[in-house]
Amino acid sequence: MTPANATKTSITPRVSETDGAGHINNVTSAIWFEAGRRTIFQAFTPDLSFDRWAVAVISMEIRYKRQIYMSSEVTVLTWLRAIGRTSFHVNEVIMQDGSVCSVGRCSYVHMDYAISRPTPIPEDVRSRLERLVADTPEFDKEFTR
């Protein structure tokens, strides 16, 4: 389901992320997915400075497959499914103990905050992002069921 060029981010679940049902709260998946996008953010803003921040999320969808527990690390796998003129589209998976727990996808635009408008993705950024693009039709099926 995940391509070889996906970035991998390890996260240790915390007590504070556990809810009354004894598993990791569903809101946490969105936070962990964002942590997995760090390499993408650095393609636009290498030092991650908010003075030069250049992306804005425009959509996000998460499908929950299995419960996640505090007992072991999770891995967030992140890659791009497409890059447009002003936007890019992210696929992501959270795994624990070899099992897929959550799948997500989101879209961002390259943003000029001074004028509050999307702007074309610069060629140097596009070339860095292209290394993360992969066609994963089996992943896409997760969102058509």
List, for residues 66-125, the tens digit of each pLDDT value.
Answer: 999 999 999 999 999 999 999 999 999 999 999 999 999 999 999 999 999 999 999 999
Q: What is the pTM of this model?
A: 0.94
User: So what's the pLDDT on residue 111?
Assistant: 96
C-alpha to C-alpha distance for 112 and 115, rounded to whole angstroms:
6
User: So what's the pLDDT on residue 125?
Assistant: 98
C-alpha to C-alpha distance for 113 and 131, rounded to whole angstroms:
26
Q: At residue 145, does pLDDT exceed 80? A: no
C-alpha to C-alpha distance for 64 and 23, rounded to whole angstroms:
13
Q: What is the mean pLDDT of the chain?
A: 96
Q: Name the CATH superfamily housing domain 7-143.
A: Hotdog Thioesterase (3.10.129.10)
Q: Where are the domains of the chain?
A: 7-143
User: So what's the pLDDT on residue 36?
Assistant: 98
User: So what's the pLDDT on residue 143?
Assistant: 84
